[in-house]
Amino acid sequence: MANYRSALKAHGSSPEVSVNSLKSKASMSQDHPSKNIKKPRRAEVNHFPSLPTGETPESMELERLSILEEMKKRHNRQQIKMKVARTFGYRRQEIVNSEPSTKEVKERWPALFQQEESSAEFLRITTRPLETTFVAQLDEHAAKLMEVVRRKGGAIGDNAAGILHDHDEASSNGSLNASTRRQCLLKLLMVFLGDPVDAIIKEHQDLQDSNVEVETMAVILTPTDVKIILEGEEVMADLHSVVDGFVMLFGLIYALNMQYPKSCGRTFEFVQKVLMGLDDKKMSTKVHKLCVLCVGLG
C-alpha cells in the first residue's frame, strides 16, 4: 500500500495523497510530514475529491464567480444547483486544505448556506441523504428512546422531567405534532448522553437577546425564527423547527470540515454513528450503551 500511495502521489492522480506530501506542506510552512494530516475523520466518502476531468483551479474559480452572479438573478435555482455540484471538488479542496473561517466560506460560497445546497453537499461528502435519514431514524427509535429515558432516575431523570412533562402535556391536550415530538426527543437524547441542551439549543424571547457574535456554534430559537450561528456568523435563518436547525448544523459541520463541539460531542457522535450509520464500528461508552438500549446492537 505504501508503494501504491507513492505511485499515486507521483502521478498526481490522487489529491488526497498529494495534499499530505512534504512538498505540499512546505508551501504552508509545515516541515514535518506527520503534522496536520488531511484525512477523513467521520466516514467521509469524498473527503478530498479531485477536480472534474479537464478542469483546473483557474477554470473552477471562474465557475465560482459565475455562481455569485447567478445568485443575483431570480428563478434560476437549477443553474445554481448544477454549478455548485460541479465545483464540489474545488470547494472541498479549498475548505479542507486552507481551513478558512466560516465568514470567508460564506463570502466565497454563499450558496452553500442554503438549506437545499447544504443537504446536497452532505450527500456528496457521505453519500447519505441528510434530512430524510435523520428524521426517519429518529422516528424509528422514538418509542424506545422515550421508554429508556422515562426509566432513568438520578440526575438524568431530574433533567429529563421538564421535557417529559411538556411532551406529555402537549400529548394530552392534542397539541403534540411531529415537530414538537422530535424536538423533545432530541433534547432527551442530549440529556441521556450527559450533554447540556442549552450548549447548542438556545431559546430567546426576543431577537435582541441573541448576541450572535459570542456564539461559536448554536441553534437559536426565538418566537418568530430559528437560525444557526457558526463562529459568530448567522449562516442560516427562517428554519421550520429546532430539529431542522440541528440537522442543518450537523450537515454544515461536514460541509465546513469542522469538529464537533466538545460540550455536545456525544450527541453528535450518536447522530453520526447510530442515526446516520456513518463509521459505526467504534463508539464511546455512553453512545454504545444508548445504542444497545435503543437499537439493540451489541
Nearest to 141 by CA among 179, 188, 176, 199: 188
Examine the domain organization and report whether 289 and 164 are in the same domain.
yes
DSSP letter (8 states) at residue 51: P
Residues 156-165 as b/e (b if ≥16 CB within 10 A, e otherwise) read: beebbeebbe
Last residue of a domain, one of 76, 92, 126: 126
Examine the domain organization and report whether 48 and 82 are in the same domain.
yes
Three cell numbers written together for 243: 430539529
Examine the domain organization and report whether 12 and 76 are in the same domain.
no
Examine the domain organization and report whether 270 and 191 are in the same domain.
yes
SS3 of 194-255: the string is CCCHHHCEEECCCHHHCCHHHCCEEEEECCCCEEEEECCEEEECCCCCHHHHHHHHHHHHHH
Interatomic CA distance for residues 126 and 47, integer angstroms: 8
pLDDT mean values, one per 10 residues, the chain (298 residues)? 54 58 54 67 94 96 97 94 98 96 97 98 98 97 94 94 96 94 97 96 71 80 93 94 98 97 96 95 93 75
Examine the domain organization and report whether 177 and 250 are in the same domain.
yes
* Domain enclosing residue 163, as ranges: 131-295
Contact criterion met (CB below 8 Å) for 216 and 207: no
Examine the domain organization and report whether 108 and 225 are in the same domain.
no
Number of domains in the chain: 3
Examine the domain organization and report whether 153 and 168 are in the same domain.
yes
Examine the domain organization and report whether 157 and 84 are in the same domain.
no
Contact criterion met (CB below 8 Å) for 98 and 64: no
Last residue of a domain, one of 126, 144, 170: 126
Examine the domain organization and report whether 204 and 97 are in the same domain.
no
Examine the domain organization and report whether 150 and 288 are in the same domain.
yes
DSSP letters, 145-199, are HHHHHHH--HHHHHHHHHHHHHHHHHHHTT---HHHHHHHHHHHHHHHTT--GGG
Contact criterion met (CB below 8 Å) for 77 and 37: no
pLDDT of residue 298: 45
Q: What is the CA radius of gyration of the chain?
A: 21
Examine the domain organization and report whether 286 and 150 are in the same domain.
yes
Interatomic CA distance for residues 231 and 233, integer angstroms: 6
Amino acid identity at 165: H
Q: List, in sequence order, every residue forming a beta bridge with 220; answer none if it has no partner.
A: 202, 227
Last residue of a domain, one of 92, 110, 126: 126
Examine the domain organization and report whether 45 and 142 are in the same domain.
no
